[in-house]
Chains A and B, each alone.
Chain A
Amino acid sequence: MSSARLRFVLRRTAVMIPVIVAMSIFVFLVIRLVPGDPVRTMLGFRANDENVATIRAQLGLDQPLLDQYLAWAGGLLRLDLGRDFISNVPISQLLGERLPVTLELTFLAMGLAVIVGIPLGVLAATRRKSMGRATTAYAVAGISIPDFWLGIMLVLLMAGTFRLLPPSGYVPFLEDPVANLRYMILPVLTLAVAESAYILRTTRASMEETMGSPFISFLRAKGVSERRITYHHALRNAAIPIITVIGIQVGVLLGGAIVIEVLFALPGVGRMLVTAISQRNYPVVQAGILTVAIIFILVNFVTDLIYGMLDPRLEEGDE
């Protein structure tokens, strides 16, 4: 790694830390911003003065705000996120069970979308007319159709009419990999369709731009085969915007996964969050939001790093 690259990585890391701190403050404030008394809201009809005082002390809400934050942030650093207000299970244990489900869903969907979207985008940019029209139609449809509705239609078709796949449910991968993947097919497909449409659009735009640049004409004049020009030279040069979009879209998928988990009854972080909101289970709400946010920040960080690796200008030390 050149010293310019090393500096780039260090600077990116340094930028990420204040963002995570700011995010933790924001999430910490969530429960404090609830109108009225959050503890009374949480307890609902079970709220009496004694209960309210106990829970308030248990959540540390009777301490000064700064002390509360420091205690909470200190807990975070030890991966201690407090306890589920309803089941009294440590939240870190809940997250340990649920995070793998969300990550599996998100990354399988992104993988599928990349496998479908990039080749179609390249084809759309390099072959004319009919291929361009077909891929445009796919891209527009993929963006217009709401993903969770597409999921419901897939359930109707695959689980209802043809009885090929289970409509909802989950088995951990380590318990039974085949069953796990069977349960994952519909949710992953649902999330991947819209995503592949975005990647297709970006790939096409970026490839069209690259294919029109002088170095491509030069390679053609040199007699390099069109296939080699497309995949070896042009795609590499067109990659930066595509990777940027993939990084941003992982965040969109993490959001989309919330709805898809609810729809397919997958026990992930998203479903935990939605359930916790309806039960006013604020400690779990905070943990869920913070977890997804931190994954998103980390993904953006990794995207930046890949971006840095691909950008040849960094070799010379300027950004």
Chain B
Amino acid sequence: MSSAAASLQARRTFGGALRGLTRRVGGREALFGIVIMLVLIAVAVFAPWIAPHDPEAIDAAQVLAPPSLEHPFGSDTLGRDVLSRVIYAFRVSLAVAMGSVALAFLIAVPLGLISGFSGGWVDTIIMRPLDLLLALPALLLAITLIAIVGPGASVALIAIGIIYLPIIARVVRSSVLITKGLPYVDGARSRGVSETAVLRRHILPNSMGPALIQGTVLIAFAIQIEAALSFLGLGAQPPTPSLGVMLNDGRDVLTLAPWVEIFPGVAIAITVLAFTLIGDGLRRRLDPRGVTR
């Protein structure tokens, strides 16, 4: 039996299908990461139906109540249900993280494409100013932008997006540099395909792999940066619940009611874990050359 036929045979069983899927996503850990991520996204999308209580409902009788069946994660200083608040806060944190990466992609992918494809002075004009952004530590750059504009969740989103611009532009640029030297690009040119069509149809799709890997990892970092900014009082502002805001609130009652502090942190750690595992798996699968390393 040829190997193709063997793999077809194997996929007819559930175990075989699972093995095939595991191989496609880049390993068992990555599959685990994808499962967590899907659950987390479902939680964020269906928050109003999943959360057992109103996240803003104040209950004087339940102030700092320890975890129970009624309040699985306990309740906070105002008697609000910590589980429901974690669910809603997670929604905000994930939106900021994914939004910032999406924003960075929107701007940085075209810049990286043009920069790598054109080379020469165009490359210099695009990349030098972006490189300057790398001359500041990421968190400091975000804090600087917030110092100018003022705090808030949307400012944090934009600030994180700006931090990511040079990172994504560089990854796209270096994979364009590799792709544009490949024989099929020359082939397309020799057939008389226009430069824009070569860029759009041949170079863009074949250069996105490393950027997607980087994007997954950057979502993980964005969750942490957002939490740190909100923790410092520079990100999302109360009453908008974000995981960082919750961690800031919980500090005051740390020894009295540690559950107020523990669960938001666990939520961040699990989210970052999921995206890190997916990123590692994608890297094994899509980037054997190590462009993103």
Contact = CB atoms under 8 A, between A and B. Distances in A.
A208 B135 CA distance: 31
B157 interface: no
Interface string B101-138: 00000000000000000000000000000001001111
Contacts of B261: 149, 152-153, 156
A149 B247 contact: yes
A302 interface: no
Contacts, number: 121
A146 B139 contact: no
Contacts of B247: 148-149, 152
Interface in B242-272: 247, 250-251, 254-255, 258, 261-262, 264-265, 268-270, 272
A304 B228 CA distance: 30
B293 interface: yes
B255 A156 contact: yes
A34 B144 CA distance: 11
Interface residues of A, number: 43
A278 interface: yes
Nearest to A136: B29
A81 to B, nearest CB: 16
Specify which of B228, B258, B269, B276 lies most central, judged by the most chain A CB atoms within 10 Å of its CB: B228
Nearest to A26: B132
B232 interface: yes
- What is the predominant secondary structure among interface residues of chain A facing chain B? helix
Specify which of B146, B227, B254, B276 lies most central, judged by the most chain A CB atoms within 10 Å of its CB: B254
A146 B265 contact: yes
A110 to B, nearest CB: 13
A30 B147 contact: yes
B273 interface: yes
B254 A255 contact: no
B148 A30 contact: yes
Contacts of A146: 224, 227-228, 265, 268-269, 272
B143 A144 contact: no
Contacts of B233: 274, 278
7 contacts: A140-B276, A145-B265, A149-B247, A259-B231, A259-B232, A289-B140, A293-B135
